[in-house]
Amino acid sequence: DTEVTQTPKHLVMGMTNKKSLKCEQHMGHRAMYWYKQKAKKPPELMFVYSYEKLSINESVPSRFSPECPNSSLLNLHLHALQPEDSALYLCASSQGGSGTSGSYNEQFFGPGTRLTVL
């Protein structure tokens, strides 16, 4: 199974709502990532989990809260979002952890959740 799955595919939420994005992989990867991508821009890294611990937080506002319940699952909890948070949210995973040794493994991406904040 070489797939990263994400649910939901589309999400529309109001600024006062609380919602969660889910990501799952069964490739035995130990690093998982959340990216945000605006139209016609490259993906921007938000968070990295390595061996189920948060290893990178790219100064993301606290209205985005990541969670890694186990090595296969990654969630992104959303609360009090702003319209400018509307974007494609991509999850990815890679083999091994995200250690400081600098050996970069390819990241495999899910299809994304297209989020609209009204």
Positions touching another protein (CB under 8 A) are 31, 33, 40-43, 45, 48, 50, 55-56, 88, 90, 92, 94, 98-102, 104-112, 114
Of 16 and 106, CB closest to another protein: 106
CB of 62 to another protein, least distance (A): 21
CB of 16 to another protein, least distance (A): 27
**Residues in contact with 103: Cβ distance below 8 Å, sequence separation at least 6, in sequence order:** 96
Of 32 and 117, CB closest to another protein: 32
Of 70 and 101, CB closest to another protein: 101
CB of 29 to another protein, least distance (A): 11
What are the DSSP calls for 46-114, one per residue?
EEEEETTEEEEE-S--TTEEEEEEETTEEEEEEES--GGG-EEEEEEEESS---TT--PPPPEE---EE
CB of 60 to another protein, least distance (A): 14
Cα of 38 vs its chain's centroid, Å: 14
DSSP code of residue 28? -
